[in-house]
C-alpha cells in the first residue's frame, strides 16, 4: 500500500474513532443528566402530590367530623392528576388497585409497592415496548388507614432525545468525514510531492542518468533529505566515473599486456619456425637463438614485474624509522656504475631526516625512479636525490636535467605499460611498469606522488609525507 493511502486511511480512522468516542460519551452523559433531572423532578412532584392529597383528605375528614374511608376518595384523588404524561395509581393495604388514570395496566412484578408499604419511598425505571416509565411509590397514612400511591411518569422523550443526539452526531460526523477525507487527500498529495520527485530522481539514477538531481527547495526535514540525496547522487556519479575510468584502465592494461606478450611470442615463434625450416648454419642459428633468448628474457622480466605489482598490493608493510640520507647513499652506490657508464653525475643532498617506511620496498621505488632519471639524462647532466622539510610535510625527490615531459603526459606515466620515449624503452628493454610500481609503493605508504616536468628542462619527482600521515605511521 502506498504511503499516501496509509496517511489517508490513518487520518480518516483517527477521525472516525475520535468522533465515535466523543459522540458516545457526550450522548450518554447528556442522557444520564436528563434522566437524573427527570427522576429528581418526579420525586419532588410526588412529594408535592403526597402533601396535597394528605391535606385534601384531612379537610374532608374535618368537614365530615368523623373517620373517612380512604378508598372512597381514591377516584377523586386520581382525577386531580390532569397531566398527559403523569399518571396515578392508588392501592389499598392489600395492594389491590383502587383507582388509576393510566392508559394501560402493567402485569409485571411490582416489588416497589411492597417497599413503599413498609414506609420507604422509592422509585424504579421500567421499559414497556418502546416506552420508558418512571414509577415513584410512597405510602399515605390517614389515621389508622393506609393507601399506597404510585406516581407514574412517561419519560420516553429522554430516549428519543438520546436517539436524536446519536443521529445528529452521525449526520455531522458524515459531513465532517467527507471534509476531513478531502482535506487529508489534498494534504497527502501536497506533502508527498517532494517524495515523488525524489522517487523519480532515484529511478533516473537507477536507469543510468547519474547527473540528475532532486529539485526540492525546502528547509524542513524533506529539504534536508533531498540535500543528502543529492549529495549521495553526486557521490554515486563520482564513483561511477571512477569505476568507468578504472574499467578503461583495466582494459588498456589488458590490451597493453596482450600486446607486450604477443610481440616477443611472435618473434620467438617466427625465429623457431625459420630455424626448423632453414639449413643448418652456425651463424644463422646463433643469431636466431640469441633473439629467442632475448625475447624470452623480456617475457620473464614482464612476468616478474607483474608479480612485483601484485606483491606490492598484497604485502603488509613492515614499517620502521629509517634515516633517509643513509638510504639514498646506499642507492647512489647501487646505481653508480650505470650512471658512470652513461656519463651522468649522481649526487645526494638534504637533511638526514627519519621517516617510517618499509625499507626494502621503498628502496625498489627509489631505484626505479633513479634508473628512469639516468635513462632520461644525457652525458654530463646531473641526477639529484634529495630530502627537504617544511612545517606541513617531509619530501624526498629525484631530479634530472633530461628531456622532460609534456604536461598532458604527467598523469599517464604512472599507468601500466605507458612509455614516454617508446623507441628508447624498447631498446633498453623497458616495459612501462616502473613508474606504475613506484606509484603503488608510494600510495601504500600513505604518501603523495608528484611529478613536475618541462620539456627540455628535466623532471622532478617528489614523494611527500604529510606531517599528519608521518605522525600516524611513527605512532
Q: Is the pLDDT of residue 226 over 90?
A: no
Instruction: Please check whether residues 152 and 96 belong to one and the same domain.
Output: yes
Inter-residue contact 89 to 103 (CB < 8 Å): no
Residue 238: which pLDDT band, with cuts at 50, 70 and 90?
confident
Instruction: Please check whether residues 387 and 434 belong to one and the same domain.
Output: yes
Of 162, 195, 230, the last residue of a domain is 162
**286 three-state secondary structure:** helix
Instruction: Please check whether residues 310 and 320 belong to one and the same domain.
Output: no
Instruction: Please check whether residues 218 and 333 belong to one and the same domain.
Output: no
Lowest mean pLDDT among 95-104, 126-135, 257-266: 257-266
Q: How far is CA 401 from the centre of its chain?
A: 58
Residue 242: which pLDDT band, with cuts at 50, 70 and 90?
confident
Q: For residues 463 and 399, give the distance between their C-alpha atoms in angstroms, rounded to a whole number.
A: 12
C-alpha cell of residue 319: 614499517
C-alpha cell of residue 297: 628474457
pLDDT in tens, 121-135: 999 998 888 889 999
Inter-residue contact 238 to 217 (CB < 8 Å): no
Q: Is the pLDDT of residue 356 over 70?
A: yes
Short-list 175, 163, 187, CA closest to 11: 187
Mean pLDDT for 378-386 is 90
What number of CA atoms fall less than 13 Å from residue 3's CA on the CB side? Answer: 11
Instruction: Please check whether residues 270 and 325 belong to one and the same domain.
Output: no
Q: What is the pTM of this model?
A: 0.48
Of 272, 297, 314, the last residue of a domain is 314
| Mean pLDDT for the chain overall | 80
Could you tell me which residue, 71 or 77, shows the higher pLDDT?
A: 77
Does residue 182 lie in a domain region? no
Could you tell me which residue, 264 or 170, shows the higher pLDDT?
A: 170
pLDDT at position 423 is: 46
Q: Is the pLDDT of residue 412 over 50?
A: yes
Does residue 291 lie in a domain region? yes
Q: For residues 366 and 334, give the distance between their C-alpha atoms in angstroms, rounded to a whole number.
A: 11
Mean pLDDT for 452-471 is 77
Inter-residue contact 76 to 52 (CB < 8 Å): no
Instruction: Please check whether residues 288 and 369 belong to one and the same domain.
Output: no
Lowest mean pLDDT among 129-133, 149-153, 272-276, 452-456: 272-276
Q: What is the CATH number of the domain that holds 114?
A: 3.30.450.20
Instruction: Please check whether residues 48 and 107 belong to one and the same domain.
Output: yes
Residue 44: which pLDDT band, with cuts at 50, 70 and 90?
very high
Q: Where are the beta strands (DSSP E) in 114-167?
A: 122-128, 131-142, 145-154
Mean pLDDT for 73-99 is 86
pLDDT at position 122 is: 92
Does residue 169 lie in a domain region? no
Does residue 195 lie in a domain region? no
Residue 139: which pLDDT band, with cuts at 50, 70 and 90?
very high
Q: For residues 340 and 131, give the distance between their C-alpha atoms in angstroms, rounded to a whole number.
A: 128
Q: Is the pLDDT of residue 426 over 50?
A: no
Q: What are phi and psi of 421, to 5 degrees?
A: -110, 90
Q: What is the CATH number of the domain that holds 461?
A: 3.30.565.10
Give Cβ neighbours of residue 443 (< 8 Å, ≥ 6 apart): 449
Instruction: Please check whether residues 154 and 220 belong to one and the same domain.
Output: no
Instruction: Please check whether residues 17 and 57 belong to one and the same domain.
Output: yes
Q: Is the pLDDT of residue 300 over 60?
A: yes
Highest mean pLDDT among 309-313, 356-360, 448-452: 448-452
Of 162, 196, 225, the last residue of a domain is 162
pLDDT at position 287 is: 78
pLDDT in tens, 194-218: 777 778 888 887 787 777 777 767 7
Q: For residues 344 and 160, give the distance between their C-alpha atoms in angstroms, rounded to a whole number.
A: 118
Does residue 61 lie in a domain region? yes
Q: Is the pLDDT of residue 235 over 50?
A: yes
C-alpha cell of residue 229: 540525496
Does residue 82 lie in a domain region? yes
Short-list 429, 397, 430, CA closest to 416: 430
Could you tell me which residue, 297 or 231, shows the higher pLDDT?
A: 231
Residue 2: which pLDDT band, with cuts at 50, 70 and 90?
confident
What is the tally of structural domains in the chain? 3
Instruction: Please check whether residues 320 and 342 belong to one and the same domain.
Output: yes
Domain span including residue 146: 3-162
The position carrying cell 617475457 is: 299
pLDDT at position 124 is: 92
pLDDT at position 285 is: 78
Inter-residue contact 454 to 404 (CB < 8 Å): yes
Does residue 74 lie in a domain region? yes
Instruction: Please check whether residues 10 and 145 belong to one and the same domain.
Output: yes
Instruction: Please check whether residues 252 and 382 belong to one and the same domain.
Output: no
The position carrying cell 627540455 is: 456
Does residue 137 lie in a domain region? yes
Q: For residues 341 and 97, give the distance between their C-alpha atoms in angstroms, rounded to a whole number.
A: 148
Inter-residue contact 210 to 237 (CB < 8 Å): yes
Residue 306: which pLDDT band, with cuts at 50, 70 and 90?
low
Amino acid at each position: 500500500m502506498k504511503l499516501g493511502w496509509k496517511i489517508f486511511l490513518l487520518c480518516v480512522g483517527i477521525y472516525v474513532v475520535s468522533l465515535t468516542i466523543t459522540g458516545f460519551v457526550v450522548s450518554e452523559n447528556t442522557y444520564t443528566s436528563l434522566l437524573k433531572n427527570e427522576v429528581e423532578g418526579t420525586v419532588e412532584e410526588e412529594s408535592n402530590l403526597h402533601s396535597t392529597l394528605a391535606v385534601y383528605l384531612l379537610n374532608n375528614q374535618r368537614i365530615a367530623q368523623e373517620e373517612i374511608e380512604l378508598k372512597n376518595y381514591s377516584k377523586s384523588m386520581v382525577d386531580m392528576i390532569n397531566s398527559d404524561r403523569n399518571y396515578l395509581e392508588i392501592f389499598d393495604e392489600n395492594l389491590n388497585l383502587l383507582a388509576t388514570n393510566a392508559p394501560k395496566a402493567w402485569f409485571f412484578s411490582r416489588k416497589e409497592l411492597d417497599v413503599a408499604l413498609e414506609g420507604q419511598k422509592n422509585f424504579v425505571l421500567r421499559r414497556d415496548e418502546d416506552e420508558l416509565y418512571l414509577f415513584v411509590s410512597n405510602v399515605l397514612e390517614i389515621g389508622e388507614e393506609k393507601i399506597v400511591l404510585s406516581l407514574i411518569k412517561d419519560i420516553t422523550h429522554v430516549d428519543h432525545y438520546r436517539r436524536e443526539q446519536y443521529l445528529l452526531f452521525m449526520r455531522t460526523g458524515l459531513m465532517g468525514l467527507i471534509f476531513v477525507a478531502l482535506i487529508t487527500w489534498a494534504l497527502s498529495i501536497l506533502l508527498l510531492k517532494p517524495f515523488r520527485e525524489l522517487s523519480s530522481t532515484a529511478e533516473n539514477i537507477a536507469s543510468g542518468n547519474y547527473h540528475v538531481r532532486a529539485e526540492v527547495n525546502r528547509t524542513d526535514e524533506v529539504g534536508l533529505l533531498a540535500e543528502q540525496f543529492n549529495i549521495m547522487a553526486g557521490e554515486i556519479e563520482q564513483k561511477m566515473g571512477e569505476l568507468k575510468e578504472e574499467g578503461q584502465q583495466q582494459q588498456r592494461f589488458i590490451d597493453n599486456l596482450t600486446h607486450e606478450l604477443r610481440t616477443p611470442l611472435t618473434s620467438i615463434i617466427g625465429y623457431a619456425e625459420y630455424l626448423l625450416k632453414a639449413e643448418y648454419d652456425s651463424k644463422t642459428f646463433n643469431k636466431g637463438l640469441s633473439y629467442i633468448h632475448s625475447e624470452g628474457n623480456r617475457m620473464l622480466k614482464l612476468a616478474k614485474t607483474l608479480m612485483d605489482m601484485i606483491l606490492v598490493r598484497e604485502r603488509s608493510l613492515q614499517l620502521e624509522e629509517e634515516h633517509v640520507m643513509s638510504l639514498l647513499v646506499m642507492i647512489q652506490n647501487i646505481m653508480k656504475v650505470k650512471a658512470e657508464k652513461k656519463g651522468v653525475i649522481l649526487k645526494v643532498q638534504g637533511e638526514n631526516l627519519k621517516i617510517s617506511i618499509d625499507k626494502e620496498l621503498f628502496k625498489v621505488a627509489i631505484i626505479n625512479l633513479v634508473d628512469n632519471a639516468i635513462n632520461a639524462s644525457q652525458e654530463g647532466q646531473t641526477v639529484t636525490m634529495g630530502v627537504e622539510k617544511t612545517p606541513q610535510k617531509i619530501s624526498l625527490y629525484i631530479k634530472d636535467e633530461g628531456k622532460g615531459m609534456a604536461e598532458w603526459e604527467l598523469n599517464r606515466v604512472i599507468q601500466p605499460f605507458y612509455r614516454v620515449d617508446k623507441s628508447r624503452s624498447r631498446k633498453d628493454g623497458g616495459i612501462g611498469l616502473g613508474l606504475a610500481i613506484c606509484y603503488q609503493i608510494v600510495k601504500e605508504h600513505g604518501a603523495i606522488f608528484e611529478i613536475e616536468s618541462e620539456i627540455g628542462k628535466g623532471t622532478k619527482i617528489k614523494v611527500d609525507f604529510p606531517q599528519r600521515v608521518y605522525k600516524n605511521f611513527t605512532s
